[in-house]
Amino acid sequence: MTNLMDRFELDRRKLLMERSVPGRIGVSLPPLDVPVAPMPDDSLLRHDLEMPEISESELVRYFAQISQFNFSIDHNFYPLGSCTMKYNPKVNDEFASLPGLAQIHPLQPESTIQGALKLLWRLQALLSGITGLPGVSLAPMAGADGELAGMLMIRAYHLDRGDDQRKSVLIPDSAHGTNPASAAMAGFDVVTLPSDSSGNTDLEALKAAADDNLAGLMITLPSTLGLFDTNILEVTRIVREAGGLVYGDGANLNAILGRVKLGSLGFDVVHSNLHKTFSTPHGGGGPGSGPVVAAERLAEYLPAPIAARIDDGDGHVRYGFDTPPKTVGKLGAFHGNFGSLARAYAYILAMGKEGVHQTSEDAVINANYILSQLRDDYDLPYDRGCMHEVVLSARTLKRRHGVSALDVCKRLIDYGIHPPTMYFPLIIEEALMIEPTETESKETLDHFIAVMKAIATEAKDEPELLHDAPHNTPNTRLDEARAARRPELRWRRASSS
């Protein structure tokens, strides 16, 4: 019996080529109704290319089985900090798939896509309302793409005024890793600002660095510590007084939606990730959307194109595209990832004003609930309330029991929960960055908390168990460094030796 069960497990893990049986076939072709053509020259044929020979039902089973080895937010709790999938209602996928939205072509005459253009124009207005900044471009196709656009705008602004010595961009050490990369790509010198003992931007360091060479500050708000910088008004004032511009990374707007408008805090340019906060499921590299939103003085530099409402006179209104007078240019061939934009539009309208208000309330309460329940089992680097995510640390578990953040994360997989982001932000030792999101029920959070407590106890009582975790998955602990550096992406027949 047991042998047969083991056999089933082994079969389930077989790769496609290992399931191949010579001569087995999964399709039947209709009789030939065209003249027989000769095969290409033999030198063009690859005889070493092995193809699986497998029946149709076995092929279907193979893909269904490997899909179950996968993990997604549709399977269970997925508290990955910073880049979490927040609320992605399925109905928005359906909306974005409507033929009038999904089956149009960017080169179609504008007169035939008026509805889609109107959607873009209205979405711009909604994002402007949410951020309190007047200029919006939907062109960027990722958060980092929006950052690059915003930094190029800041550069163009200073150059336009003959301020070409303004080359330095200050970035707090609690910023997202893309921030310094984007500033450097836009040609700036990046200067890192330390965080103070409460996790805010260090004001003394900021004052010292805010000189005539200052181009601007790039700040992630809330920071990757999951904290709202309570000195933010002072921060933006210092930068502006020194002649710099303020860039806000608003990738995770679900923390402050409907609560605070970044424009009223002194920000000049902001991006937001529609594929985090506004309903596009993401992962595996796309699709994404990182619209960039700007204050009056930067709006003329926005990337093109911008959806526009054009009044033709005598009561005729149509929608088209505009190019801002001093645009930093185009970021792609067309106008962004339209499907993500359509989803964001549907999401914002469906949620409404009260809905987005509730989003931030629930996101912040859920994260603080986890903070309050786990603070005795894990280290809490900054003892204060958090925003949409909480950064804990496994520092003490590591020192006392040799159990690392990685071990804790791997053990979570055994309990059927996706690990949080770990070892990020870099300024926290053994970081565990947990974002429950606004959608999880109290029962789910309580279950997660109970599991995290159980793992902390296991770490003390049987640390070995954690070192080799996960134990219940098709693959156990992987050599991740080797998998990344020497990936084996292709099946090869095991050599006969």
Ligand X SMILES: *Cc1c(COP(=O)(O)O)cnc(C)c1O
CB distance 435 to 79 below 8 Å? yes
Question: How many other CB atoms are found less than 10 A from the CB of residue 1?
Answer: 5
Site string for ligand X, 208-227 (x = CB under 6 A): ------------x-------
Instruction: Report the residue from 252, 327, 359, 404 that binds ligand X according to the rule CB under 6 A.
Output: 252
Measured at the alpha carbon of residue 471, what is the angle toward residues 469 and 475, in degrees to the nearest 5?
Answer: 95
E strands along 370-490, which residues?
390-393, 421-422, 431-434
CB distance 59 to 26 below 8 Å? yes
In the complex with ligand X, which residue's Cβ is closer, 141 or 405?
A: 141
Question: Considering the rule CB under 6 A, would residue 199 count as an interface residue with ligand X?
Answer: no
In the complex with ligand X, which residue's Cβ is closer, 280 or 404?
A: 280
Phi/psi of residue 266, nearest 5 degrees:
100, 15
Question: Considering the rule CB under 6 A, would residue 249 count as an interface residue with ligand X?
Answer: yes
Beta bridge mates, 201? 195
| Candidates 23-31, 126-134, 244-252, 479-487; binding stretch for ligand X (CB under 6 A) | 244-252
Q: What separation in angstroms does the CA of 4 have from each of 1, 11, 114, 175, 295?
A: 5, 10, 62, 53, 67
Question: Considering the rule CB under 6 A, would residue 143 count as an interface residue with ligand X?
Answer: yes
Peptide bond into 436 cis (omega under 30): no
> What end-to-end distance do the CA atoms of the chain give, in Å?
33
CB distance 219 to 175 below 8 Å? yes
Measured at the alpha carbon of residue 24, what is the angle toward residues 22 and 28, in degrees to the nearest 5?
Answer: 140
| Candidates 21-29, 141-149, 186-194, 296-304; binding stretch for ligand X (CB under 6 A) | 141-149
Kind and range of the H or E run holding 120: helix 114-131
Question: Considering the rule CB under 6 A, would residue 83 count as an interface residue with ligand X?
Answer: yes
Instruction: Report the residue from 85, 101, 117, 144 that binds ligand X according to the rule CB under 6 A.
Output: 144
Distance between CA 409 and CA 424 in Å, rounded?
13
**What's the DSSP call for residue 486?**
S
Instruction: Report the residue from 86, 155, 166, 176 that binds ligand X according to the rule CB under 6 A.
Output: 176
In the complex with ligand X, which residue's Cβ is closer, 179 or 327?
A: 179
Least distance to ligand X from the beta carbon of 336, Å? Answer: 12
| Candidates 14-22, 137-145, 304-312, 403-411; binding stretch for ligand X (CB under 6 A) | 137-145
Q: Is 146 helix (H, G, I), strand (E, B) or coil?
A: helix
Site string for ligand X, 89-128 (x = CB under 6 A): ----------------------------------------
Question: Considering the rule CB under 6 A, would residue 254 count as an interface residue with ligand X?
Answer: no
* Structure-token pair, residue 166: 């303004």
Radius of gyration, alpha carbons of the chain = 26
In the complex with ligand X, which residue's Cβ is closer, 221 or 238?
A: 221
Query: Positive or negative, the Cα torsion across 280, 283, 284, 289?
Result: positive
Least distance to ligand X from the beta carbon of 223, Å? Answer: 8
| Residue keyed to tokens 């080895």 | 69
Question: Considering the rule CB under 6 A, would residue 86 count as an interface residue with ligand X?
Answer: no
Assign 3-state DSSP to the chain and report helix, strand, coil percentages, each to 5. 40, 10, 45
CB distance 206 to 238 below 8 Å? yes
| Candidates 139-147, 347-355, 400-408, 412-420; binding stretch for ligand X (CB under 6 A) | 139-147
Instruction: Report the residue from 136, 170, 193, 251 that binds ligand X according to the rule CB under 6 A.
Output: 251
Least distance to ligand X from the beta carbon of 186, Å? Answer: 15
Instruction: Report the residue from 135, 266, 290, 420 that binds ligand X according to the rule CB under 6 A.
Output: 290
Least distance to ligand X from the beta carbon of 178, Å? Answer: 4
| Candidates 51-59, 247-255, 297-305, 386-394; binding stretch for ligand X (CB under 6 A) | 247-255
In the complex with ligand X, which residue's Cβ is closer, 275 or 398?
A: 275
Cα atoms in the Cβ-side hemisphere of radius 13 Å centred on 230 = 8
Instruction: Report the residue from 79, 288, 305, 470 that binds ligand X according to the rule CB under 6 A.
Output: 288
Question: Considering the rule CB under 6 A, would residue 180 count as an interface residue with ligand X?
Answer: no
> In Å, how far from its chain's centre is CA 279?
11
Question: Considering the rule CB under 6 A, would residue 178 count as an interface residue with ligand X?
Answer: yes
In the complex with ligand X, which residue's Cβ is closer, 282 or 401?
A: 282
Least distance to ligand X from the beta carbon of 425, Å? Answer: 10
Q: Is 103 helix (H, G, I), strand (E, B) or coil?
A: coil
| Candidates 14-22, 246-254, 297-305, 397-405; binding stretch for ligand X (CB under 6 A) | 246-254
Nearest residue to ligand X by CB is 143
| Residue keyed to tokens 């909480």 | 390
Least distance to ligand X from the beta carbon of 496, Å? Answer: 45
In the complex with ligand X, which residue's Cβ is closer, 128 or 220?
A: 220
- Closest C-alpha among 284, 263, 294 to residue 124: 294
Instruction: Report the residue from 168, 273, 340, 437 that binds ligand X according to the rule CB under 6 A.
Output: 273
Amino acid at 496: S
| Strand 390-393 relative to strand 431-434, pairing | antiparallel
Question: Considering the rule CB under 6 A, would residue 272 count as an interface residue with ligand X?
Answer: no
Q: Which residues bind ligand X (CB under 6 A)?
A: 82-83, 142-144, 176, 178, 220, 249, 251-252, 273, 288, 290
